[in-house]
Structure 1
Amino acid sequence: MNELDFKDRRVLITGGTNGMGNAMAHAFRARGAAVTVTGTKPAESYDTDLHGLDVRHFDAGDPEQVARLVASIEKLDVLINNGGMVLYRGKEFEAEGFQRVLDVNLTGVMGLCTGFRPKLALRKGCIINVSSLAAFSAVRGNPAYGASKAGLVALTKTLAVAWARDGIRVNGIAPGFVKTNITQVSQDNDQISDAIVQKTPAGRWGEPEDMVGPALFLASSQLSGFMTGQTLIADGGYSLQA
């Protein structure tokens, strides 16, 4: 038995047009899954590898688009809520910016989870919510991002309990500092980047591919079938340092 065989499975990964989501998408595709990914731009706008992926233009902060995406996918085995956003220069301290980030990072995730619940229940599927280390400590300058990611950890626990009898497992991944578009500002600042590397026992930034293993593990009913409500921290040991 191949515990990582996803043949005849349908996987949806929000934010799968680049970064961690794109790495996950190709990993599932390589193992037989039909993979749909979403992004905030049309498919032709990306310079990443989208070969073999069903690409959808999607804004998780728009309830109508959430409803349309749910209606457009007939069956689903794995829902990975990876898409998210952050605002800089103090914009998250403003009411409009704070609300926008929560709409995308938390409310939109809830909409997808509840919308796909009946379809996931039919397939005994699973949900993986991608949170962040920001869920567990203060995030200077980004109150909405931190609050939304902390909310995802709590949401993961709550939905795991609520939907266990449907046969739906709900787990999460909390990445540390990974080289993605969201962290580009920190990557480009040598002082900040060096401090991150020094505090990380693994001695480096995370790569998008580092999140593939946790995602495959949590999506496999053979490997993690008795796990639900958990958020795995994948940060190279960063959070272990005081």
Structure 2
Amino acid sequence: MNNPLDFSGKRVLVIGGSSGIGNGIAQGFRAHGAAVIVTGTRPDEGDYLEAEDSDLRGLTYHRLDVTDRDAADALAAEIGAVDVLVQSQGVVRYKRAEFTREGWDAVVDVNLNSVMDVARAFHQGLAERGGNMIVVSSVAAFKSTIGTPAYAASKAGAASLVKTLGEAWAKDGLRVNGIAPGLVPTKLTAVTTDHPERREASLRAIPLGRMGTPEDMAGAALFLASPLASYMTGQTLVVDGGLTLS
């Protein structure tokens, strides 16, 4: 039997793959043979050399500003069709900034509006190649996050979009699934993971007793993109160490 996790000859695009969870997913696909393209907001890959959560070795980098509503179409025209599209872009604003109109709009634009923009831009190519799309949301999609309403609502919207596109685009021969990470140390979660008391309190709430890693999320993404998940669409896998079980 052929290795179902061998992505040799496949093209993978990871939006937000320059750092954090997206970067872990990108390197996971590269390790399994794929040609991987990643996007980030900085001018070029050299600007990520000092970033602790970034490893661009073996990856092809493109700058993409997802708040530019036409940028995804331009990227699709530039790089062509891909077999796997992973959407891992995301922002959050703390200190109650998301309760303002400006803060709300800024977060929703990245976490939800851009997901549909990118999906729309790459839909035809994915359909032609019998590919699949994976949307990285968050366990915040399924619970309250008292200080970040736009983050929670946008992630819930992304998880809902996975369901709808999973059904709507099945007829086109492509699958749409998602991953909802729990607590993973990234720039977005540093407010918790870099604070000893908050970190320890969070760890006590995780049955498996540890935070997740980008590599954990890569494992889920590899599964969803592989033939092992060929009968799955419209589903979001919760990968949180049991955090949301109680």
Native 8 Å contact 1:14 1:39 kept in 2: yes
Alpha-carbon distance in 1 for matches of 2:152, 2:225: 25
The structure 1 segments of at least 4 consecutive aligned residues displaced by more than 6 Å after TM superposition are none
Alpha-carbon distance in 2 for matches of 1:66, 1:232: 26
Q: Which amino acid aligns with 2:174?
A: I
Shift of 1:64: 2.1
Alpha-carbon distance in 2 for matches of 1:211, 1:62: 27
Deviation string, structure 1 residues 97-145 (Cα, Å, up to 9, x no partner):
1011111111101011111111000000000000101000111211110
- Residues 165-204 of structure 1: pairs in structure 2 closer than 5 A: 165-204=171-210
Say whether residues 1:148 and 2:131 are aligned partners: no
Alpha-carbon distance in 1 for matches of 2:132, 2:4: 15
Native 8 Å contact 1:135 1:146 kept in 2: yes
- Residues 54-65 of structure 1: pairs in structure 2 closer than 5 A: 54-65=60-71
Q: Which amino acid aligns with 2:4?
A: E
Q: TM-score, normalised by structure 1?
A: 0.97
In structure 1, the residue matched to 2:30 is 29
Q: CA RMSD for the aligned pairs? A: 0.9
Structure 1: unaligned runs, 5 residues or longer: none
Native 8 Å contact 1:59 1:104 kept in 2: no
Q: TM-score, normalised by structure 2?
A: 0.95
In structure 2, the residue matched to 1:218 is 224
- Residues 4-43 of structure 1: pairs in structure 2 closer than 5 A: 4-42=5-43, 43=45
Structure 2: unaligned runs, 5 residues or longer: none
Shift of 1:67: 1.9
- Residues 64-83 of structure 1: pairs in structure 2 closer than 5 A: 64-83=70-89
Match of 2:165 among 141, 159, 169: 159
Native 8 Å contact 2:28 2:215 kept in 1: no
Deviation string, structure 1 residues 160-196 (Cα, Å, up to 9, x no partner):
1100010110000000001111001111222211111
Shift of 1:94: 0.8
Shift of 1:36: 0.6
Native 8 Å contact 1:102 1:144 kept in 2: yes
In structure 1, the residue matched to 2:101 is 95
Native 8 Å contact 1:157 1:229 kept in 2: yes
Q: Percent identity?
A: 51
In structure 1, the residue matched to 2:90 is 84
Match of 2:46 among 15, 29, 44: 44
Alpha-carbon distance in 1 for matches of 2:37, 2:96: 34
1:11 counterpart SS class: strand
Shift of 1:69: 1.2
Say whether residues 1:228 and 2:233 are aligned partners: yes
